[in-house]
Structure 1
Amino acid sequence: VTVGGAFGVEALGTGILMFLILALTDERNPARPSPGMVPFFIGFAVAVLISLFAPLTQAGFNPARDFGPRLIAAAAGWGHVAIPGVRNGFWVYIVAPLAGAPIGALCYDIAIRPGLPATSTSPVPKKMDVVGSWCADQALVQMLVREACAQCCYPPDAGLGYAGCNGKREGCGEGTSVDVAA
């Protein structure tokens, strides 16, 4: 395979993979599999693409998958065989995936996305706001700790609040104790 042919094969394979990943993960796609099956289908797609394109170019599809081992081989003394490679085409495995993935995404945006519903048809809830959820959880914990401190550690009219309640306080309520992290 020529350097130009290898570029085309790598770009095509990466473009197909990107197209499939977008189809499998687009929340508006009513035909997408359940979220638990998406990794299986992506892995299966990679296996099929490698089976098709590996006889031609070894099916890199990922610049790190090719360039990282080349760097190690060069450091190990393989010299010209590692970089720039036998046909001076090591750049193909870096540039072709970077060209193929956006082309695959563009093809998806042009061919598939316009036909999808405007909103998600997935019964799976949208991604949770992790930071907001964490902050809400922390606020709830602080409120519960303040209530425990107010009820167990100090008389209600002591005015010490949360800042004065740290460590383990014995005798809270009916023979219980409360551990409070400062």
Structure 2
Amino acid sequence: MWVHVDAAYAGSACICPEFRHFLDGVEGANSFSFKPHKWFLTTLDCCCFCVKDQIDLTKALSNDPELLKNKASDSKNVVDYNDWQIALSRRFRAMKLWMVIRSYGVTGLQEVIRKQVKLAKHFEALLIADKRFEVVVPRNFATVCFKVLAPNGSTEDSKRLTQTLLDSLNVSGLV
């Protein structure tokens, strides 16, 4: 059995020591991924995929047609990335992530994440203090899930008010 941990959004936060406990147990997985385009200031799409044992992965995905055979691959002195995914090849996405890491460094990326978490914590506190809203689940990172409470207590009215707020935010583009 293959165990995969998909930390698409929150995996980036684990660059900060205070969030690493969210990855406790990940060492038991066969693979782990996170998406820097969700929180590392890179554009869509960018995914980091790590495997415990590359041989297991390449055995499952390898494709050995005659047209791909070459001396370098046969020598096993090179990594054939075509065996690392179903698509057989891939676009070059690493440069944008390399540029962000080069520009911001670990410390800069940590600052970005900590600032956004701090802003979310502040926003969550404002919502908790305002009886017109309810925080639906506790915030761990920088995503705050909340709803608008209807003055009459109606669940249906609450859903409608929340949808109206969401629509108006999406139309205006302002928060």
Query: Structure 2 length as normaliser, TM-score?
Result: 0.23
The structure with higher relative contact order (CA 8 Å, sep 6+) is 1
Query: TM-score with structure 1 length normalisation?
Result: 0.22
Computing the radius of gyration over CA atoms, which structure comes out larger, 1 or 2?
1
